[in-house]
Chains A and B, each alone.
Chain A
């Protein structure tokens, strides 16, 4: 319970900070809407219309009051409520996120097995080298190279958008094809990191007594790996997956902007470029909640994987 209260306090702090920063520049929003070359009359008219001439504390109070009623504000750019804008984009990101996380988890487990089992011999070292290489590569470069190779050179996968615009009604197959490059890029950002954590776990678990005992009882290698070692080694990885949600989101912004995939990351990018402050503040709020929920989910999964783990304080 204490943790939830703390998380909510943190979130409140963040959102307040973002709001204040966005409104700290007087006339900032008005310039953002109408451009820098506007007459003072129009500037004043707009400020009055949007209530931007009120003192900052009153703007904040009004905004907070509306927030408590589920109103996130109004997008300058798209001229519709922020909640509707975010709602329209969020679903696509959730889908992308889910596919990418599933891909990353599967790849990390496969790679981690190889790395963990051969930790000190050459296959392990090769794995380690690949992990380090991918880890050091900037995400936007990985995404760009994937797009260049598979989209532009080989022409095997679409590298732009979320559906083929030439078709009247793009089918599921088309949407899945458009998902391949963004999802695998996102997965590639996290896989080396997760695989490494998992591999370390596998390596450590293999030197434990219970593994020796199981071996002495004649349990086969596959069974030890799958039934004994993996469930124990996977827990740190799940925790990290939860903790790294903010970092994964940074990757998401990059991927969505490289592949023009219209999700939350793309929206954040376009809103930043176009100075659409209400949407920016709204996204920070939504992300904060998502991160909290993500951490909670990781805790729950961990408690389910290991009954000894409790989070009561």
Chain B
């Protein structure tokens, strides 16, 4: 079992290590210009080549990863809190309030996520806090729905009914009885949310509406690589792209590991299209 845990979480751990320990292992300054070697192909001194200004691409990728995570991780926490909170309230509510909350959620889920992100980014002054906030505020809808469904079924179970008969208030119910029961599910979804946040940030940065320069996330590095495509600088396009894809894969892999821990059912299908989240990836 420990083995399975390790293999599932390994990609995510590696990703974090790459970003956290990267500067210690490869201490080149990502902003140092070397005008003598613009667009140098990968070599021993530049393992992943240089960009148009002669900056070391590997160092830039490491720092781009830190940039990406420094926005995506807080965004994940925000989305996680909002989704869990909304799901709890919607699961607890009854009557017209419950219907209203559900309608609102359906409306939010029906929005093309990238459209919401672009509209939001157009309205906000862009910096780390606003971009992270925007991603967090728009990423929680699917989680809220999952939590709501679970809470609705849990609150009808005998132990929950009994606790309520004994006079447990909603807060006590949520903290002591309901949330512990969905802890695994929440862990799974938090992991998936991290992937969603990285993807959202990368898409925004790719479209030039992420955190503005000099900050460079993987998405904006990929974008600037495209401009140099015709010069054959594949090392500016493939590495950031594969790192973004790799982090999505890492999040999915860790989530799937948690999920198979959570239930012994056929989980492969679940994470691929969890029916609760029957929408495509955002972009």
Shortest Cβ distance from A236 into chain B, in angstroms? 10
CA distance A22 to B119 in the complex (A): 9
Contact B107 A250 (CB under 8 A): no
Contact of B273 among A197, A250, A271, A272 (CB under 8 A): A197
Shortest Cβ distance from B27 into chain A, in angstroms? 29
Q: Which residue in chain A gives the minimum CB-CB distance to B282?
A: A250
Contact B112 A250 (CB under 8 A): yes
Contact A272 B229 (CB under 8 A): no
Q: Which residue in chain B gives the minimum CB-CB distance to A7?
A: B110
Contact of B245 among A138, A189, A240 (CB under 8 A): A138
Indicate whether B207 reaches chain A with its CB closer than 8 angstroms.
yes
Indicate whether A118 reaches chain B with its CB closer than 8 angstroms.
no
Contact of B222 among A18, A140, A243, A249 (CB under 8 A): A140
Q: Which chain B residues lie closer than 8 Å to A136 at the CB level?
A: 245, 248-249, 252
Indicate whether B193 reaches chain A with its CB closer than 8 angstroms.
no
Contact A269 B118 (CB under 8 A): yes
Q: Which residue in chain A gives the minimum CB-CB distance to B240?
A: A141
CA distance A200 to B272 in the complex (A): 12
**Bitwise interface map of A from 241 to 257 toward B, beta carbon under 8 Å scored 1, else 0:** 00110111111011001
Q: Which chain A residues lie closer than 8 Å to B103 at the CB level?
A: 6, 9-10
CA distance A172 to B278 in the complex (A): 38
Contact A10 B107 (CB under 8 A): yes
Answer whether A246 and B112 are a contact pair too, CB < 8 Å, given A6-B103, A138-B248: yes
Indicate whether A165 reaches chain B with its CB closer than 8 angstroms.
no
Contact B107 A139 (CB under 8 A): no
Indicate whether B74 reaches chain A with its CB closer than 8 angstroms.
no
Q: Which residue in chain B gives the minimum CB-CB distance to A243?
A: B278
Answer whether A140 and B279 are a contact pair too, CB < 8 Å, given A147-B229, A196-B272, A283-B115: no
CA distance A141 to B118 in the complex (A): 18
Stretch at the interface among B59-67, B175-183, B198-206: B198-206
Contact of B279 among A6, A197, A200, A244 (CB under 8 A): A244
CA distance A253 to B282 in the complex (A): 11
Answer whether A269 and B207 are a contact pair too, CB < 8 Å, given A10-B103, A196-B273, A244-B279: yes
Contact B119 A148 (CB under 8 A): no
Q: Which chain A residues lie closer than 8 Å to B202 at the CB level?
A: 138, 140
Stretch at the interface among A38-46, A94-102, A221-229, A273-281: A273-281
CA distance A145 to B244 in the complex (A): 14
Indicate whether B283 reaches chain A with its CB closer than 8 angstroms.
yes
CA distance A54 to B115 in the complex (A): 28
Tell me how many residues of B have a C-beta within 8 Å of chain A: 48
CA distance A287 to B114 in the complex (A): 12
Which residue, of A132, A140, A145, has the highest number of chain B Cβ atoms within 10 A? A140
Q: Which chain B residues lie closer than 8 Å to A13 at the CB level?
A: 104, 107
CB neighbors of B among A119-166 (8 A): 132, 135-141, 144-145, 147-148, 151-153
Indicate whether A25 reaches chain B with its CB closer than 8 angstroms.
yes
Contact A254 B114 (CB under 8 A): yes
CA distance A243 to B245 in the complex (A): 25
Secondary structure dominating the interface of A? helix
Shortest Cβ distance from B260 into chain A, in angstroms? 16
Contact of B203 among A6, A135, A138, A284 (CB under 8 A): A138
Contact A272 B279 (CB under 8 A): no
Answer whether A190 and B280 are a contact pair too, CB < 8 Å, given A136-B252, A138-B241: yes
Shortest Cβ distance from A240 into chain B, in angstroms? 7
CA distance A189 to B114 in the complex (A): 14
Q: Which chain B residues lie closer than 8 Å to A287 at the CB level?
A: 112, 115
CB neighbors of A among B105-122 (8 A): 106-107, 110-115, 118-122
Indicate whether B39 reaches chain A with its CB closer than 8 angstroms.
no
Indicate whether A14 reaches chain B with its CB closer than 8 angstroms.
yes
Q: Which chain B residues lie closer than 8 Å to A251 at the CB level?
A: 280, 283
Q: Which chain B residues lie closer than 8 Å to A196 at the CB level?
A: 272-273
Indicate whether B281 reaches chain A with its CB closer than 8 angstroms.
yes
Q: Which chain B residues lie closer than 8 Å to A300 at the CB level?
A: none
Q: Which residue in chain B gives the minimum CB-CB distance to A240?
A: B278
Contact of A243 among B118, B219, B279, B281 (CB under 8 A): B279
Contact B252 A148 (CB under 8 A): no
Contact B118 A268 (CB under 8 A): yes
CA distance A240 to B277 in the complex (A): 12
CA distance A189 to B203 in the complex (A): 14
Q: Which residue in chain A gives the minimum CB-CB distance to B268?
A: A128
CA distance A283 to B116 in the complex (A): 11
Please give 5 more A-B residue pairs, beta carbons under 8 A apart, in addition to A141-B222, A152-B229, A246-B111. A139-B203, A140-B203, A144-B241, A273-B209, A277-B122
A-B contact pairs, 28 of them (CB 8 A): A6-B103, A9-B103, A10-B107, A18-B119, A22-B119, A138-B241, A138-B244, A138-B248, A139-B281, A144-B226, A151-B229, A152-B232, A189-B283, A190-B280, A193-B273, A244-B279, A246-B111, A247-B112, A249-B115, A250-B113, A254-B203, A272-B119, A272-B122, A273-B122, A273-B207, A275-B122, A277-B123, A284-B115
